[in-house]
Amino acid sequence: MPPISEQNRQPSTTSLSSKGDKVIDPSTYFSTHVPPSNLNASKILVSEFVSKNSKINRPVVLVTSGGTTVPLENNTVRFIDNFSNGNRGAASTERLLEEGYAVIFMHREHSLQPYNRHYTHSAERFLDYFVAGENGEVQINLKYKEKIQTDFEKYSKAINNNQLLMVTFVTLSDYLFLLREVSLTLAAMKRNAMFYLAAAVSDFFIPSHNMSEHKIQSREGNLTLEMNQVPKFLKPLVMNWAPDSYIVSFKLETDPELLVPKARHALSNYGHQIVIANMLHTRKTEVWLIEDKKESHHLQLDSKEAANGVDIELLIIQELVKRHKEWINKN
Amino acid sequence: MPPISEQNRQPSTTSLSSKGDKVIDPSTYFSTHVPPSNLNASKILVSEFVSKNSKINRPVVLVTSGGTTVPLENNTVRFIDNFSNGNRGAASTERLLEEGYAVIFMHREHSLQPYNRHYTHSAERFLDYFVAGENGEVQINLKYKEKIQTDFEKYSKAINNNQLLMVTFVTLSDYLFLLREVSLTLAAMKRNAMFYLAAAVSDFFIPSHNMSEHKIQSREGNLTLEMNQVPKFLKPLVMNWAPDSYIVSFKLETDPELLVPKARHALSNYGHQIVIANMLHTRKTEVWLIEDKKESHHLQLDSKEAANGVDIELLIIQELVKRHKEWINKN
């Protein structure tokens, strides 16, 4: 693969500063930002959930899902977001539950959620799922009833069996604080824990102390935003927070030249177990599993499967569960 | 009110360029951007809707609602968004329907929608509205049934009576193209048409030809984003697209010093009928109606109303409908 040219890395609207910008440490990030208000409540829920599942020796996986926002103002009117609607994480969670895992589903508020995902971001609106019966009484539209019945049963079972816990974040900062807490708690399960880091986390942010206090005004011309690189939190996660667990990260690109090299670079940099590499426009039908010292493993839906609405997460989770079991037994 | 200081306008993370940046014309914007793929389909729907309501002499209002996104890359991974979830527009639409208006509800995809808004962004997930009956069959949870019955009836009536049409946008560009088409069609109703521009439209954008083709890379340090000011589309709307209609715009600020002066400035600049001014943190309980040559009119929920979940849109729409009627009769 050819080296990345300067031109590729420096599109006209961005300038990559060379005056010795340093990416801050994760610890510096935590000491200069305020934790989210729901952190403690989430921590208690996670701790109870891990404890219950540990007792019955059920493996637990943390699935992170959806995008993080980066506020541009302290009184936030505007923020940077990304394309992720959370389908990858939600679909993977359904498969992991089927495989007998307990799942901590740590997701962006209002992003797609397991079993519920089929109803919330579709062309139908909430009230479109109902009709008036003969007596005028509102009831579930028969057209949808069978599907709702199936999803309702699976969803209820997962919740009632302590197999599914949902915790939320919105901003990058919420995400990072919550990730650290959940990781430290889940780490106690050692090799029985998996981390499936499917959330699309921002790469750039504006440190709180540099942010505009009020809504940025527009009447004086162009706007220049200076953003800092987000510290790489995978490093402390792998090295310190949960060093004994099976860790799966994701790499999404739009330039095919960069995909595999960047995935391999992440593996050698952070020393975790596996990277799932995917391209923005084919991510629903095709991924590559990248592991150290192995050929990359290509997974793809055939056209019939894709047309029938099979989720590629079916294939991804099958492969991961196999690898996680082998990895547990090997050690 | 004191003049705005340089310091207020120039927070440390933004620089307001002074090298003669010119805001482009709306016409330049349209000639250099690609219309959304659903534009023609939406145009046909709007045209039929306006025609049907014209025939029965029902006034029509365009409600715009939710935020627009501004992509940072042509293969979009990241975009700038804003805080709006669309509640203002959705709640106002419900009141306008009650007042006998037909409503074109032009909203950000998946933002809050009339009657459906009570179910889609709440703590309950879709499947939480159901329970298993005695025979195990899924049914509507009795706890929610009465509310769903009421909302379902109102929603169905509005749709079946041709009183409510929903069209969607996502990006700033989608919004601007759609706004122009809808305005030109609705303008035929002259004074019988109202424009209620509640959408939170981006002030800054990156012109398509300046955008990075691929996902912006993070490993080389800081990121600088150069953004241009969005042309002021209220001007052609008021002057050319719908010069005979009643036009309501919104002004949201976080700095109380700026709110009323900016609202009055918009009125004198664009020459439309009314600005609804509101502060980010009190927008759900308090607004000011600003009209040319009149004292501003303050609307506020009392603490009991706020606690009981009364929407301030009840007060806003009452006042607007009164003004729209007076304005129709005066001319």
Facing A75 at nearest CB: one of B23, B200, B254: B254
Query: Can you give the three-state secondary structure of chain B, one letter per residue?
Result: CCCCCHHHHCCCCEEECCCCCCCCCHHHHHHHCCCCCCHHHHHHHHHHHHHHHHHCCCCEEEEEECECEEECECCCCEEEEECCCCHHHHHHHHHHHHCCCEEEEEEECCCCCCCCHHHHCCCCCHHHHEEECCCCCEEECHHHHHHHHHHHHHHHHHHHCCCEEEEEECEHHHHHHHHHHHHHHHHHHHHHEEEEECCECCCEECCHHHCECCCCCCCCCCEEEEEEECCCCHHHHHHHHCCCCEEEEEEEECCHHHHHHHHHHHHHHHCCCEEEEEEHHHCCCEEEEECCCCCCEEEECCHHHHHCCCCCHHHHHHHHHHHHHHHHHHC
Helix (H, G, I), strand (E, B) or coil at A42: helix
Closest alpha carbon to B88 in B58, B108, B59:
B108
Query: B204 and A217 in contact by Cβ < 8 A?
Result: no
pLDDT for position B8: 31
Instruction: List chain B residues with CB under 8 Å of A224.
Output: 14-15, 17, 224-227
Average pLDDT per run of 10 along chain B, which is 331 residues long?
Answer: 31 35 83 94 98 98 97 83 93 98 97 96 94 95 97 98 97 97 97 97 85 68 85 95 97 91 95 96 96 95 94 98 95 68
> Does residue B179 contact residue B63 with C-beta atoms inside 8 Å?
no
Residue numbers in B near A83 (CB within 8 A): 76-79
Q: How far is B331 from chain A (nearest CA, A)?
A: 34
Among A13, A17, A219, beta carbon nearest to B225 = A13
Q: Structural domain boundaries of chain A?
A: 26-244
Best of B225, B270, B279 to substitute, by most chain A Cβ atoms within 10 angstroms, is: B225
B121–chain A Cβ distance below 8 A for any pair: yes
pLDDT band at A217 (very low <50, low <70, confident <90, very high): low
Instruction: Taking the CA atoms of B11, B17, B22 and B26 in sequence, report the sign of the dihedral they define.
Output: negative
B281 contact A CB<8A: yes
> Is A124 in CB contact (< 8 Å) with chain B?
no
B72 in contact with A at a CB cutoff of 8 Å? yes
- Give me the pLDDT at residue B218, please: 62
The verdict on a CB contact (< 8 Å) between B79 and A83 is yes
- A69 to chain B, closest Cα gap in Å: 9
- Indicate the angle between helix axes A172-186 and A39-55, nearest 10 degrees: 30
Q: Does residue A242 have a pLDDT over 50? A: yes
Q: Which of A14, A224, A255 sits opposite B15 (nearest CB)?
A: A224
Q: Given the DSSP bridges, would you call strands A193-197 and A246-253 parallel, antiparallel or unpaired? A: parallel
ipTM of the complex: 0.88
Q: What whole-number distance in Å separates Cα of residue B294 and Cα of residue B291?
A: 6
Our CA angle for B106, B156, B307, nearest 5°, is 75
Q: In terms of DSSP bridges, do strands B193-197 and A102-108 run parallel, antiparallel, or are they unpaired?
A: unpaired
CA-CA distance, A64 to A180, in Å (whole number)?
A: 12
DSSP bridge pairs for A78 = B82
What is the overall mean pLDDT for chain A?
A: 90
Distance from A37 to chain B by nearest Cα, in Å?
A: 16
Q: Which chain B residues have a beta carbon less than 8 Å from that of A250?
A: none
**B window 172-211, beta carbon within 8 A of A:** 200, 202-204, 206, 210-211
Asked if A14 lies within 8 A of B126 by C-beta distance, the reply is: no
Q: What is the pLDDT of residues A42-66, one digit of tens each?
A: 999 999 999 999 999 999 999 999 9
- The backbone torsions φ and ψ at residue A138, rounded to the nearest 5 degrees and listed phi first, read -70, 135
Q: What percent of chain A has pLDDT over 70?
A: 91
Q: Do A148 and B127 touch (CB under 8 A)?
A: yes
Packing angle, helices B172-186 and B39-55, rounded to 10? 30
Instruction: List the end-to-end C-alpha distance of chain A, in Å, as a whole number.
Output: 35
Chain B contact present for A145, CB below 8 A:
yes
Nearest by CB to A220, which of B16, B77, B230? B16
Quick one: closest CA in A to B82, which residue?
Answer: A78
> Which is the CATH superfamily of the domain at B26-244?
CoaB-like (3.40.50.10300)
Q: Chain B contacts of A281, Cβ < 8 Å?
A: 75
pLDDT tens digit string along A64-121? 999 999 998 877 788 999 888 999 999 999 999 999 999 999 999 999 999 999 999 8
- DSSP lists the bridge partners of residue B250 as B276
Question: A132 vs B156: CB contact, 8 Å cut-off?
Answer: yes
Flag whether residue A30 sits within 8 Å of chain B, measured between CB atoms. Answer: no
Residue A15 has pLDDT above 60, yes or no: no
**Out of B13, B137, B153, closest to residue A225 by CB:** B13
Closest residue on chain B to A150 (Cα): B138
How far apart CA B192 and CA A15 sit, in angstroms, is 51
Tell me the residues of chain A between 214 and 233 that have a Cβ less than 8 Å away from chain B. Answer: 214-230
Judge: A139–B140 Cβ closer than 8 Å, yes or no. Answer: yes
Q: Does residue A73 sit at the B interface (CB-CB below 8 Å)?
A: yes
pLDDT tens-digit map of A129-174: 999 999 999 999 999 999 999 999 999 999 999 999 999 999 999 9
β-sheet bridge partners, residue B290: B275
Report the pLDDT averaged over residues A281-288: 95
The pLDDT of residue B1: 33
Say yes or no for a CB contact (<8 Å) between A121 and B127: no
Residue in A23, A38, A124, A125 to test binding to B, most B beta-carbons within 10 Å: A125
Closest residue in A to B146 (Cα–Cα): A138
In this complex, is the C-beta atom of A155 within 8 Å of any C-beta atom belonging to chain B? yes
Residues with Cβ within 8 Å of B272's Cβ and at least 6 positions away in sequence, in order, are B234, B238, B247, B248, B249
Determine whether the interchain pair A79/B82 forms a contact, defined as Cβ–Cβ distance below 8 Å.
yes
CB distance B223–A14 less than 8 Å?
A: yes
Q: Would you say residue A17 has pLDDT above 50?
A: no
- Planar angle of CA A305, A84, B205, nearest 5 degrees: 130
Alpha carbons A260 and A262: distance in angstroms, whole number: 5
What is the structure's pLDDT at B9? 28
Put simply, whether A253 touches B (Cβ < 8 Å) is: yes
